[in-house]
Amino acid sequence: MRTLTVEVVKNYINGRWVESKTKETRDVFNPATGELIAKTPMSTAEETIKAIEAAKTAFRRWRATPVFTRVRYLNRIRDAFEDNFEDLCRILTTEQGKAIDEARGEYRRTIENLECATAIPSLQMGYNTEDIAAGIDEMVIKQPLGVFFCVAPFNFPGMVPTWFWPFAVGVGNTYIVKPSEQVPLSQVRQFEIIDEVGLPKGVLNMVHGGPEAVNALLESPDTIGMSFVGSTHVGKLLYKKAGEHGKRAQVQGGAKNFLTVMPDADLERSVPAIITSFYGCTGQRCLAGGVLLAVGDIYEPLKEAIIEASKAYTVGNGLEEGVQMGPLASKRGMDTVLSYIKKGVDEGAELLLDGRGIKVEGHPNGYFVGPTVFDKVKPSMAIAQEEIFGPVISIVHVKDLDEAIDIIHANRYGNASSVFTSSGGTAREYQYRVKAGNIGINIGVAAPIATFPFSGMKDSFLGDLHGQGRDAVDFFTENKVVITRWF
Ligand code: NAD
């Protein structure tokens, strides 16, 4: 593995590594040890504009590059990611904290997005109709538009940018990645690999930073559109600004996901999926379980099984093989989770398992919170309403499916929801009625693969076209209609 030294990470603009001139940086910590491992520059508007100019210039040649040539670069990047797989995973765990197997899962999905985008020669095909009138034909061409960018969150620093840029670049646009300032190193490593592959300069750029860089991207007359993934609060601000500046925008926001367990659920097979849904990635997933709705008399046996499985869940440094749950990604994240646990107690929920104060041997400064289970949670409580982004299960006992769906629909978010049942009829009703973008039937984390849109509804998504698959191809292209008549 590459040694991680404490340095201010560089931007990647026009095929070159460039030091930011800003004096403002953010510290990056290894969340398992509390060690300082890097610094992120809060790049200035001026530096960001340099990246936009490079991407704009590169677009002229790149859009005229044959589609199979463009895709061949994606294939080479895909192969290079595969060759550096373990290194990439270890860097991801070192800066983000998640268990190494979860990092491997994330990079598998990252590579799948590249693989999916190599189908662009087919995905970008338009369509035509002959003889719309005598001797006149009509066709649609899907053309690239110019410079796009993404603003990424801290929880999937390896994967999220690849929901977008392989599709954007594959169809002939040029691109700028703005990683989360909390976890810049995964993208730095990816760009080192991309640099070695030798993508033409300016096609793919990276600018580190925060609001100043993002505002420069949104305000520039030379950018076309933004893909944002992060909190709903920030997403809404940026969506509004994108509208004001005439940009295309897709905003994937926060979540509070409800898992419903019916009395006829197969508990033995459901509980492992439920547990992983809440504790996977230490609860820092937009698809993470948020509330467990126990329907009717499944409540007691479900509660018992959840407690037993929670106690057996192993917490530690994500780099150690076999550890199931790493630390929270930041001290701030840990403090937020701790404050929610306190709020749950204050609001009168019963704390069955308390993850506060967990000790991980050899890691006294890590941001650890252990599996936490609340019972007797009321839907009106903050722990049942708001995104905690930590390993906390809130159990709500409901009488039937209607009550469960009413609770789900009263929540502002609609990212994902799952039902556990052995009845096809119940499953069908759930998928039909529940207003959430990603539905799991006996699946705890309904994470769409690269060929499907990463959906989301209500306050979890703003826009119309989503990341990944055909939606991404439509987002990054413009349909041009051509009507022809030859004399
Ligand atoms: P965040 O909103 O704090 O930050 C996301 C990005 O926005 C970062 O790159 C950050 O630098 C930038 N940013 C923050 N404030 C800004 C501002 N005022 N102006 C311009 N840019 C700004 O989100 P986060 O804490 O990094 O990520 C966690 C959130 O992301 C959770 O709510 C989670 O549910 C959500 N998320 C959603 C999905 C999805 O697909 N729906 C996927 C992953 C994460």
- Can you give the pLDDT at residue 1? 46
Handedness of CA 398, 404, 410, 412 (dihedral sign): positive
Q: Which atom of ligand 1 is nearest to the CA of 387?
A: 32
Contact predicate 42/181, CB 8 Å: yes
Residue 306 pLDDT: 98
Distance from the first to the final alpha carbon of the chain: 66
With a Cβ cut-off of 6 Å, ligand 1 is lined by 151-156, 178, 180-181, 210-211, 214, 229-231, 234, 238, 252-255, 286, 387, 415, 454, 456, 460
pTM of the entire structure? 0.97
pLDDT for position 5: 58
User: Which of 143, 57, 39, 100 lies closest to 326 in space, CA to CA?
Assistant: 100
**pLDDT per position as a tens digit, 289-300:** 999 999 999 999
Shortest-distance Cα residue to atom 28 of ligand 1: 230
**Ligand 1 atom with the shortest distance to the CA of 215:** 20
**C-alpha span between 252 and 415 (Å, rounded):** 9
Distance (Å) of CA 343 to CA 132, 235, 248, 314:
65, 26, 39, 25
- Tens of pLDDT, residue by residue over 279-329, are 999 999 999 999 999 999 999 999 999 999 999 999 999 999 999 999 999
What residues contact 358, with CB distance under 8 A and at least 6 apart? 315, 368, 369, 370
Compute the distance from residue 368 Cα to the ligand 1 centre, in Å.
21
Q: Which tokens is 26 given?
A: 């953010």
Q: Specify the pLDDT at position 392.
A: 98
And the tokens for 260? 């419903």
The 3-state DSSP class for residue 185 equals helix
Cβ neighbours of residue 340 under 8 Å, at least 6 residues apart? 382, 383, 386, 388, 390, 392
**Pairwise CA distance, residues 75 & 117, whole Å:** 9
Kindly give the parts of the chain with pLDDT less than 70. 1-5
Distance of CA 252 from the midpoint of ligand 1 (Å): 9
Tokens of 434: 């529940």
Q: Name the residue at shortest CA distance from atom 15 of ligand 1.
A: 234
Question: If you measure from the C-alpha of residue 434 to the centroid of ligand 1, how many angstroms do you get, rounded to a whole number?
Answer: 25
Count Cβ atoms below 10 Å from residue 101 Cβ, excluding itself: 15
For residue 42, the Cα-to-chain-centroid distance in whole angstroms is 22
Nearest CA owner, ligand 1 atom 26: 153
Ligand 1 centre distance from Cα of residue 95 (Å): 17
Considering only CA atoms, which residue is closest to atom 40 of ligand 1?
252
| 479: β partners | 142
For the CA of 234, the nearest atom of ligand 1: 2
pLDDT, residue 6, reads 86
Which residue's CA is the nearest one to ligand 1's atom 30?
A: 230
Share of the chain above pLDDT 70, in %: 99
Angle subtended by helix axes 424-433 and 401-410, to nearest 10: 20
> 9 near 20, Cβ under 8 Å?
no
Active site residues: 286
Q: Which residues are CB-contacts of 362 (< 8 A; sequence separation ≥ 6)?
A: 317
Ligand 1 site-directed mutation target among 24, 28, 96, 151, most atoms within 8 Å of CB: 151
